[in-house]
Homo-oligomer: A and B are copies of this chain.
Amino acid sequence: MKTKEHILSTALQLFNEQGTAGISTNHIAEAAGISPGNLYYHYRNKEAIIRALFEQLFALWDTKLALPDDRLPTLDDLQGLVRTNFEIMWAYRFVYRELLALLRGDAALHERFVMIRQRGYEGFREIVSLLAQSGVLNVPTSDETVDELADLCWLISEFWMPTIEINGEAASAAELERGVTLMLAVLRPYFPD
C-alpha cells in the first residue's frame, strides 16, 4: 500500500501548488517517481485520486473536529474548532480553491460532500446552541438568533481562508487569526454584561 499512499501525497502537493486542472496523471506519476501505467494500476483515473483525497479530508474532519462529550463546550472550544478547521483546510487547500468546479464534475462525490458538510454544520449549530443554553451567550435558546449566529460562524469557518487567499499570498497565521477575531466580533454583542 506504500505506493498508493505515495501517489496520494504527491498528488495533494501538486494540486495544492498548481491546481487540479493543470496537473495530469502523467505529472503525478513523474513527480512520484513511478510510471504512468503504475499509477493507473492503483487508481482508475484522476477523479479517483481526487476522491481519495476528499476522503482523507473527511476523515480529518471527522476525527479532529469532535466536541467535548463530558462537559459543555466553551467559547475557547469554538475558537479551537475553527483554528483546527483552518489547519485542515490549509493542508487540503486545493479543495476550497475550486470546490464548486470539483463537485460539479462528480455527482457521487458531490452528494457525499454535502452530507459530510451538513454534519459539520450541525455540530457548529449545536455548539452555538449549547453556548446559549449555558449562558455563555445571552440569547434565548429557541431564538432564531442562534441560527443566524451559527450560520455566520460557519460561513467564516468555511470561507475565511479562500477570502484571504484571493489576495495572492499564502494565508499567514495572522490573517487566519483575523478570522477567529471576526467570529468573536459576531458573538461579542451577546456576551453577558
Q: Which residues of A contact B (CB under 8 A)?
A: 18-22, 97-101, 103-105, 110, 113-114, 117, 145, 148-149, 151-152, 155-156, 158-160, 162-163, 165-168, 178, 181-182, 185-186, 189-190
Contact = CB atoms under 8 A, between A and B. Distances in A.
Copies of the polypeptide in the assembly:
2
Contact of A98 (B101, B145, B158): B101
A121 B92 CA distance: 27
Contacts of A103: 166, 168
Given A159-B162, A182-B152, A19 B168 contact: no
A182 B151 contact: yes
A114 B166 contact: yes
Contacts of A189: 189-190
Contacts of A167: 114
A148 B185 contact: yes
B182 A148 contact: yes
A145 B110 CA distance: 38
Contacts of A148: 181-182, 185
Contact of A101 (B19, B156, B168): B19
Given A148-B185, A181-B148, A155 B159 contact: yes
A53 to B, nearest CB: 16
